[in-house]
A and B are shown apart, each in its own frame.
Chain A
Amino acid sequence: MATFLIRRLVNYLILILVATTGAYFLAATSLHPRANVAGRNPPPPVAVVDRQLTALNINDKTPVLDRYAIWVKGVAHGDFGRTWDNNSVNAEMGRRMGVSLRLLFVGTVLGSGFGVLVGAYSAIKQYRPSDHAITLVSFLVLSMPVFVLAVMLQIAAVKINKTVGHQVFQYSGETSAGLTGGFWTHLGDRLQHLVLPTLTIVLGQIAIFSRYQRNSMLDVLDSDFVRTALAKGLRRRAALLKHALRTALIPAATFFAYSFGLLLVGATFTEKIFGWHGMGEWLIDSILTNDINAVVAISCFTAVLVLIAGLLSDVAYAVLDPRVRST
């Protein structure tokens, strides 16, 4: 088991390395930080710009391999370089990572948890009205790109705020600027800001997981071992919960890794639309500002997250399925 995990880790590290390197070369050749200053009036002298860009290691006049070498040396020391406006990428990333992970964590836990429950319920009630309703709603949510869902929720929030005559939901940022008050005021304020973005993420996750869980549950509903449980004298509900649902959880574990990529993209849009200063928002902003070092750092971050999700999914699989555990 240990050797296997080490081998898998090494493979993951290589994948991260290759992915990040690829992202570096793509970003370094396609993004043009020089353009950021091109529009200035009066145009700054070329030599000054060159000096600045070289200092940041993003000068397109330096051969890309040389720039890469400098960058790699930095990364080897744990330094992802500087942003185009000369801030530390590491510091910025440290600030933003927490914001994104909060959103992702809540989204994953609530989304997959509720999704599994809803899906299992739907499968047991197959072809009954409740199943049809769940199916239709989850299809509707699945058909809504995150940016549409987020804006719809915002519109709904505005409507509700207006009707109530009070700011129940906040839809911009993580906290209100210049808020004064005690701990509870701050907590309440944070919660007000938290509801909509979390809902955006969680709704999508529930829709996905419920479809998946419904299918995997239907796969085992007619299986021989459920029949055996009934033949033993278990009531239908007990057989379904104890034998069918427990077994149908196994595919959901592997599915977790697949769905994680989608979750990341969803989080990116959500952050951007709700004005949360997380990694996702940074991703979009850094491309728009031709911020090469930031872009590469973000791709490294996402690659690591995807692979951690893969690893977690493997572990969950092994925990849930004794057939994998035994060697």
Chain B
Amino acid sequence: MSVPGDGLVEIVGTGGALPGEPPPPDETRAVSHGRLVLARFTRHRLAMVGLAVLVLLFVVAFLGPYVAPWSYTKKDFTAFLQPPSSQHWFGTTQIGADVFALTLRGMQKSLIIGLLVAVISTGLAALVGTFAGYYGGWRDKVLMWGVDLLLVLPSFLIIAILSPAFRSGSWLIFVFLLSAFLWMVTGRIVRGMTLSLREREYVLAARYIGVPSHRIILRHILPNISSLLIIDATINVSAAIISETSLSFFGFGIQPPDVSLGTLIADGTSSAFTFAWLFLFPAGVLVLIVLAVNLVGDGLRDALDPNSVHK
């Protein structure tokens, strides 16, 4: 069993390439092509909408608390379980906490975790993938066996088992655990691409010039898979957010007094039928974030890697 979202990485991330058989890297790119990429992206209307929504959500999450009438720690003892009003935009909870302020707080955590996990896991995938792919041989075998093992390990269960550790410790441990179980599919794709890049004539040429292997990986391999990495990192943001909220939903993720969208939704679920605002607002925001990220990722793939599919 793997962390929720693995599949998502696969579909939205690789654009129909066979696992282990990556699309040929796009070669028609350079400085002035940056403009072409930008043009392709801006033409993608849904992606632009996604980007706008995402920017807006970030602004709201991090600047909102300064304008909102209530902070997430303050409780309104005059209003328990009130539906949305001009005072409490998203309503209040059983104990009089402001749902809007809580949602903002949860958004901050979920967004930060999503970004961190995406960056760390994509970095890990790039490192392991290029290393295994370029050097090959026993190193490749060992690393790929490790990837298989991680894919077989029920990651949801492992993180859940270890959750007491971050119950007391920092949520950063949670971030590292999430990253540790999110990189394998990307890592495999990176390895596959490296395998084909390794046979590329410009890599061979560098080798026959005498350029050392680590320099070849840094200068020739990594830059040429960068579009894949950018796309996958984007998609991993949404995968990470879904994983984080799922774990938090069942109490295995972010621990009180911290809040994330997952814990908020969990709290709201029990009263979802009667006090719908407790559930609908955090859930709506969550879906909006993930949807926006996915749309941006889709647009990025269209723009960066037009040869792969959406031609």
A147 and B265 form a contact (CB under 8 A): yes
- B250 contacts which chain A residues (CB < 8 A)? 269, 272, 284
From the candidates A16, A214, A258, A263, name the one contacting B10 in the complex (CB within 8 A): A258
Rounded to whole Å, the gap between the CB of A223 and the closest CB of chain B is 12
The contact string, 1 if C-beta is below 8 Å from chain A, for chain B 175-205, is 0000000000100000000000000000000
Would you call A194 an interface residue if the criterion is a C-beta within 8 Å of the partner chain's C-beta atoms?
Answer: no
A147 and B294 form a contact (CB under 8 A): no
A218 and B309 form a contact (CB under 8 A): yes
Would you call B165 an interface residue if the criterion is a C-beta within 8 Å of the partner chain's C-beta atoms?
Answer: yes
Q: Using a CB-CB cutoff of 8 Å, which residues 232-287 of chain A contact chain B?
A: 251, 254-255, 258-259, 261-266, 268-269, 272-273, 283-284, 287
Report the number of A-B residue pairs with Cβ-Cβ less than 8 Å.
Answer: 170
B11 and A208 form a contact (CB under 8 A): yes
- B219 contacts which chain A residues (CB < 8 A)? none
Would you call B276 an interface residue if the criterion is a C-beta within 8 Å of the partner chain's C-beta atoms?
Answer: yes
B185 and A155 form a contact (CB under 8 A): no
Would you call B19 an interface residue if the criterion is a C-beta within 8 Å of the partner chain's C-beta atoms?
Answer: yes
Residue among B4, B10, B294 having the largest count of chain A Cβ atoms under 10 Å:
B4
Q: List 27 A-B residue pairs with CB atoms under 8 Å apart, sorted by A's residue number.
A: A15-B149, A15-B152, A18-B149, A19-B149, A19-B154, A22-B153, A23-B158, A140-B287, A143-B290, A143-B291, A145-B286, A145-B290, A148-B287, A151-B279, A151-B283, A155-B279, A211-B11, A258-B185, A261-B7, A262-B4, A265-B1, A265-B3, A283-B154, A284-B160, A284-B250, A288-B251, A302-B157
Closest 3 CB pairs of A and B: A215-B16, A262-B7, A261-B2
B154 and A302 form a contact (CB under 8 A): yes
Would you call B242 an interface residue if the criterion is a C-beta within 8 Å of the partner chain's C-beta atoms?
Answer: yes
Rounded to whole Å, the gap between the CB of B248 and the closest CB of chain A is 10
Majority DSSP secondary structure for residues of A touching B: helix
A216 and B279 form a contact (CB under 8 A): no
A303 and B152 form a contact (CB under 8 A): yes
- A268 contacts which chain B residues (CB < 8 A)? 1, 156
Minimal Cβ-Cβ distance residue in A for B241: A145
Number of B residues, CB within 8 Å of A: 58
A306 and B18 form a contact (CB under 8 A): no
Q: How far is the CA of A259 from the CA of B7 in the complex (A)?
A: 5
The contact string, 1 if C-beta is below 8 Å from chain A, for chain B 251-282, is 11000000000000110010011001001000
- The stretch of A26-34, A46-54, A195-203 in contact with B is A26-34
Q: How far is the CA of A263 from the CA of B5 in the complex (A)?
A: 10
The contact string, 1 if C-beta is below 8 Å from chain B, for chain A 140-154, is 101111111001101
The contact string, 1 if C-beta is below 8 Å from chain B, for chain A 1-41, is 00000000000000110110011001100110000000000
Rounded to whole Å, the gap between the CB of A137 and the closest CB of chain B is 11
Known contacts A299-B154, A303-B152; is A145 also within 8 Å of B279 by CB? Answer: no
The contact string, 1 if C-beta is below 8 Å from chain A, for chain B 145-181, is 0001101111011101111110000000000000000
Residue among A22, A139, A145 having the largest count of chain B Cβ atoms under 10 Å:
A145
Known contacts A216-B16, A303-B154; is A262 also within 8 Å of B2 by CB? Answer: yes
A151 and B269 form a contact (CB under 8 A): yes
Q: How far is the CA of A222 from the CA of B311 in the complex (A)?
A: 10
Q: How far is the CA of A242 from the CA of B279 in the complex (A)?
A: 47
| B residues at A contact (CB < 8 Å) | 1-8, 10-12, 15-16, 18-19, 46, 148-149, 151-154, 156-158, 160-165, 185, 238, 242, 245-246, 249-252, 265-266, 269, 272-273, 276, 279, 283, 286-287, 290-291, 294-295, 298, 309-311
Instruction: List 14 other contacts, CB 8 Å, given A30-B161, A139-B298, A219-B16.
Output: A26-B158, A140-B287, A142-B11, A151-B269, A155-B272, A218-B311, A261-B2, A262-B4, A263-B7, A265-B4, A272-B250, A273-B269, A295-B161, A302-B1
- B286 contacts which chain A residues (CB < 8 A)? 145, 148
From the candidates A27, A140, A211, A261, name the one contacting B151 in the complex (CB within 8 A): A261
Residue among B242, B265, B269 having the largest count of chain A Cβ atoms under 10 Å:
B242
Minimal Cβ-Cβ distance residue in B for A207: B11
B151 and A215 form a contact (CB under 8 A): no
Rounded to whole Å, the gap between the CB of A292 and the closest CB of chain B is 9
Would you call A80 an interface residue if the criterion is a C-beta within 8 Å of the partner chain's C-beta atoms?
Answer: no
B12 and A211 form a contact (CB under 8 A): yes
- B245 contacts which chain A residues (CB < 8 A)? 145, 147
Would you call A84 an interface residue if the criterion is a C-beta within 8 Å of the partner chain's C-beta atoms?
Answer: no
Rounded to whole Å, the gap between the CB of B292 and the closest CB of chain A is 8
Q: How far is the CA of A263 from the CA of B4 in the complex (A)?
A: 9
Minimal Cβ-Cβ distance residue in B for A35: B164
